[in-house]
């Protein structure tokens, strides 16, 4: 594992050998994060100038992000350096957007006003509809603006890849990992959780008092009975109201059935990948999609911890 820091003035710092590290990946929310610990011998101390971090494993970039905190010192075991931070999404989370109204907002408008000013590159290929009457509420973060535009109106969950680029395209199938009887699974937990899962959302327009009713037919048909009322800003479009209700149902459904799985070895799978569990035991058999992945190295060696959900529930 090779780690590098880039300073505000363009200088690069190659980190010493890492003794422990952890990279946490999700599907856009919450922000991905990293924590690394290195051997350290104090020489010239320019670490306070570091702005961004990148990690490379076997020639592949596995994380790119911003440095939030840097600690260095020594104890009875010698000198150490600890760095922590988040993915490039942090730049959008940490900056408040200027409230504004668009007559018609396009994806290019969103990138120009809310993404590229922070030095963030967006991958091409996004196909998002223009949104008439799109408004940016005062107090919103730049990330909220991007998320609302992509998720509510385009049905796409925005996220950052491991190279630090903004992605606003549908999830690909990703890699598929088959877990047979002899797979190096060190821990597994299957959880069924009905609490917090919604069966219906009523979306109400504050001005016109119109209501859109969005129902999870499958969960409702299996006895689910939990309704929420969501009030939208005045004069919300039909499409915005529908997406808002469907989004609330989709997010709540993600927790209905989950598998937590730990594997020996790092970087076994990432969010969006498919895991097919095909061992003889009945627990957790079937096809799952990775929702979260934590890859790390500690005193017990390299590991990958996964949170899995039904493929249709994770979009």
CATH 2.40.30.150 intervals, the chain: 176-193+257-313
- Fold assignment, 92-167: Phage tail protein beta-alpha-beta fold (3.55.50)
CATH architecture for residues 176-193+257-313: Beta Barrel (2.40)
Residue 89 has pLDDT above 80, yes or no: yes
Contact 299, 30 (CB under 8 A): no
What is the Cα 39 distance to its own chain's centre?
Answer: 30
Dump pLDDT digits (tens) for 97-152.
Answer: 999 999 999 999 999 999 999 999 999 888 899 999 898 988 999 999 999 899 88
Residue partners of 50: CB distance under 8 A and separation at least 6: 5, 6, 7, 13, 67, 70, 83
Residue 315 has pLDDT above 70, yes or no: no
Interval 211-233 mean pLDDT = 87
3-state DSSP of 193-220: CCCCCCCEEEEEECCCCCEEEEECHHHH
Residue 182 has pLDDT above 80, yes or no: no
Interval 48-53 mean pLDDT = 92
Mean residue pLDDT across the chain = 88
Three-state DSSP at 260 gives: strand
Predicted confidence at residue 296, as pLDDT, reads: 96
CATH 2.30.300.10 intervals, the chain: 2-87
**Per-residue confidence band for 174, with pLDDT thresholds at 50, 70 and 90:** confident
Q: What CATH class does 2-87 carry?
A: mainly beta
30-34, 167-171, 228-232: which range is least confident on average? 228-232
The b/e string for 41-50 (b: 16+ C-beta within 10 A; e otherwise) is eeeeeebeeb
**Per-residue confidence band for 48, with pLDDT thresholds at 50, 70 and 90:** confident
First-to-last alpha carbon distance for the chain, in angstroms, is 31
Residues in the chain: 315
**Per-residue confidence band for 88, with pLDDT thresholds at 50, 70 and 90:** very high
Instruction: Give the whole-number percent of the chain exceeding pLDDT 70.
Output: 93
Tokens of 97: 């957007």
Angstrom distance (rounded) from CA 289 to CA 276: 9
């Amino acid at each position: 594992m090779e780690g590098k820091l880039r300073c505000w003035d363009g200088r690069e710092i190659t980190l010493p050998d890492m003794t422990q590290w952890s990279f946490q990946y999700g599907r856009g929310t919450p922000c991905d994060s990293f924590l690394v610990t290195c051997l350290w011998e104090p020489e010239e101390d320019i670490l306070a100038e570091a702005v961004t971090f990148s990690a490379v494993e076997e020639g592949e970039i596995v994380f790119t992000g911003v440095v939030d905190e840097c600690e260095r010192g020594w104890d009875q075991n010698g000198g150490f350096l600890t760095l922590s931070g988040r993915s490039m999404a942090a730049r959008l989370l940490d900056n408040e957007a200027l409230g504004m109204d668009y007559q018609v907002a396009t994806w290019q408008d969103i990138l120009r006003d809310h993404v590229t000013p922070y030095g963030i590159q967006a991958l091409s290929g996004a196909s998002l509809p223009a949104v008439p009457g799109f408004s940016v509420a005062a107090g919103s973060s730049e990330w909220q603006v991007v998320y609302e535009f992509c998720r509510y109106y385009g049905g796409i969950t925005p996220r950052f890849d491991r190279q630090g680029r903004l992605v606003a395209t549908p999830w690909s199938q990703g890699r598929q990992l088959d877990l047979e009887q002899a797979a190096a699974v060190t821990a597994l937990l299957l959880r069924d959780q009905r609490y917090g899962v919604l069966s219906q959302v009523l979306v109400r327009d504050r001005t016109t008092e119109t209501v859109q009713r969005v129902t999870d037919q499958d969960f409702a048909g299996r006895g689910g009975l939990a309704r929420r009322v969501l009030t939208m800003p005045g004069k919300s479009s039909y499409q915005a109201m529908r997406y808002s209700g469907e989004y609330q149902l989709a997010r709540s459904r993600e927790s209905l059935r989950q598998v937590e799985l730990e594997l020996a070895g790092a970087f076994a799978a990432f969010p969006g990948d498919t895991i097919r569990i095909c061992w003889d035991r009945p627990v957790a058999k079937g096809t799952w999609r990775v929702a979260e992945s934590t890859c790390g190295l500690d005193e017990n060696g390299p590991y990958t911890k996964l949170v899995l959900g039904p493929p249709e529930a994770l979009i």
